[in-house]
Chains A and B, each alone.
Chain A
Amino acid sequence: MGNVVKERGLVLEKTFVAMGKQLTQAGVGQKVLELILIGVVFLILVPFLGAHRATDFAIFCIIVLSFDLLYGYMGRLSFGHLLYVGVGAYTVGLALRYLTTNPLLAIVLGVVAACLAGMAVGAITVRIAGAAFALANLAFNRVGWFLVMSPLKDITGGENGLSIRNLSFWYVNFRNPTFRFWFVLASLLLVFLLLRIFTSSSYGVLLRSIKEDEKRVRFLGYNTQLYKWVTFVLAATVAGFGGALTALNYGYVNPNTLDVHANAGIVFACLLGGSGRLYGALLGGIIYMLITNLLPVYFQRWEFFLGVALLLIVFRFRGGIWGGLEALYSGLAARAKSGSSKEGMSR
């Protein structure tokens, strides 16, 4: 009996050691450098925006990153991604109200709930091809919104939302904006690191293959439904994490967190930065938040602006800002190369 437990312990230990090894394998230095760089960018933002807004930016970036995994890497456009943000946020709100006083436990619960919701919805929608996938997810998002607004009104507070009182526990104090900022920044870096590892793995290449030609991937021996589902669930889980952080950052949850029309904002941020590139998602997230934070105070026709901007991107700037930078860089590199070779010839 004791032996079995011991053996299991050993197996677990081995798995963890293996996990650790893989996480820290090749390119450790580069990854650390990237993380430091992202951290510095957000620290620079703090004096201009204040810690609370910078926190908001970082959370939005987490959500855009999760969306980019689904759309940018796997090529599956969802217009219902906020459902998982909402599930994460509401679970945290409800858990802190009825179940626990520990915000960390609430976050875990929120992430698990979003994961489960993603598993259930994903099982249905992942099998849908083409743009219908986007709309089917939108429909589920709407069902979620509707559930919060009326049938579950008594516990979710309907339109008024839900305020969270238990924000501090032990050393974890979400009332303190500085703590929130550091906590969220650490979360963002963790999410980025994980996605960085996933997208540069063989699985990441498989996702890009599915994006280009799913049928062909099946003829390479992969059950694409499974991998699409796994990716969907992963994206939902990370989005749920973002939602959980949103709830703690504001201290309340309202139905706007899963408003179906706000999905356009995520899609826009992802395309603006450049889809299929993690840095593009980060950049898009920050720029989108800058636009929404600085403009609408004086700006009435926000939807009009968003619509025109989306059309421009679709017709003219598919690569987004990061894609543009990449093209510029490779253009310059090519010019430098041909320049130097010409010099060599003239000599």
Chain B
Amino acid sequence: MIYAIMYGLTVGAVLYLISVGFSLTFGTMRVINFAHTITYTLGAYLLIASIRSLGVPFFWGGAVGVAVAALAGYGIERFVIRRLYGESLDYTFIATYAVFLIGVDIVKWLWGVFPKPVSDPLGKTVDILGFVFPTYRLLVILLAIVVFFGLELFMRKTMVGKIIVAALDNREGVRCLGIGVEKYFSLAFVLGSALAALGGVLYAPITAVHPYMGSHILLLCFAVVLTGGLGNLRGTFLASFALGMLISITGRYWPAGSEIVAFIAMAAVLLARPIEA
């Protein structure tokens, strides 16, 4: 049971890192960026590629993954999402889905379709009260918490953060202030992409890396964002861990249903609190 909780926390941490960016774009612009998780996939693959073919250590491989994925995120925002600003959200959805398809195919083309394993970069374990935990997973959880508090600080102390928070609260209101919000959204977007890539890098040693890993986790992110509340960053944090826990504990007793529970939770939330425009 303790191990299930531990696993749940790890999954929750990764889910949080990926969901933040999704939540930001969804909360501020109501845009659903299907390509969001392509940066997550890209992060994981770049990590593996740089470890395997360049022989760099895990840390630098991860850094390369995050940097390149952030760049890709910027490209998606600049050339796809921003061009469809103010039009039907469905077009943005379709366009980002198209980017997702292209991304998946590029990944397949470069690295093949088969899952790639990466080993635990630390390989050490910690002994807490008689339970043995891999240090790496503890680090992942710790990192997610650090990111959460970092974001809280960022949103509260910096001008950019304040504008983003205001936009989450009231989209039209901020636009009325005459602030060129696009610039800030773009920044939030790149930040979200980088965090998603970080999630991919961190999750790679725990799970199998395959081209469709992104679409798989995107739905979980969606469930997280809906459960946590639209544009509510703290809610996203809590919901990530709650759903991570739910998945992990259900998986222990009913392995086949581990993913379904997340969607059942989502459906319950939707029934109670439908999304109106």
Contact = CB atoms under 8 A, between A and B. Distances in A.
A40 interface: no
Q: Which residue of A150, A301, A314 has the most chain B CB atoms within 10 A of its CB atom?
A: A314
Nearest to A260: B215
A267 B99 CA distance: 15
A124 B271 contact: yes
A310 B98 contact: yes
A136 B270 contact: yes
Interface string A312-338: 001100100000000000000000000
B219 A135 contact: yes
B254 to A, nearest CB: 8
B31 A129 contact: no
B6 interface: no
B245 interface: no
A323 to B, nearest CB: 14
Interface residues of A, number: 43
A136 B262 CA distance: 12
A267 B95 CA distance: 11
B94, B95, B256: most-surrounded residue (chain A CB, <10 A)? B94
Contacts of A75: 88, 90
Contacts of A132: 26, 30, 32, 222, 226, 275
A271 interface: yes
A130 B89 contact: yes
A131 B219 contact: no
A170 interface: no
A310 B102 CA distance: 10
B270 A127 contact: yes
Interface string A294-307: 00000001111011
A315 B84 CA distance: 8
A67 interface: no
A71 B94 CA distance: 12
Contacts of B106: 304
A307 B89 CA distance: 18
A138 interface: yes
A44 to B, nearest CB: 32
Interface string A260-293: 1100100100010000000000000000000000
A124 B268 CA distance: 9
A304 B92 contact: no
A151 B31 CA distance: 34
A147 interface: yes
Contact of B104 (A128, A139, A147, A303): A303
A147 B260 contact: yes
A308 B267 CA distance: 33
B93 A134 contact: yes
Contacts of B263: 139-140, 142-143
Interface residues of B, number: 47
B114 interface: no
B259 interface: yes
B105 A307 contact: yes
Given A124-B267, A134-B32, A307-B105, A150 B256 contact: yes
A125 B91 CA distance: 19
Contact of B98 (A125, A130, A311): A311
Given A131-B31, A301-B109, A139 B276 contact: no
Interface in B205-247: 212, 215, 218-219, 222-223, 226
A139 B266 CA distance: 9
B99 A307 contact: yes
A146 interface: yes
A60 interface: no
B257 interface: yes
B219 A139 contact: yes
A136 B263 CA distance: 9
Nearest to A123: B271
B155 interface: no
A79 interface: yes
B100 interface: yes
A132 B219 CA distance: 11
Given A138-B219, A314-B84, 8 more contacts: A77-B93, A124-B271, A129-B277, A135-B219, A140-B267, A303-B101, A304-B106, A314-B94
25 contacts: A71-B90, A75-B88, A124-B271, A127-B270, A127-B274, A130-B32, A130-B89, A130-B277, A131-B89, A132-B30, A139-B263, A140-B267, A146-B260, A261-B212, A264-B101, A301-B105, A301-B109, A303-B101, A304-B101, A304-B102, A306-B98, A307-B100, A307-B105, A311-B80, A314-B84
Interface of B: 26, 30-32, 34, 80, 83-84, 88-95, 97-102, 104-106, 108-109, 212, 215, 218-219, 222-223, 226, 256-257, 259-260, 263, 266-267, 270-271, 274-277
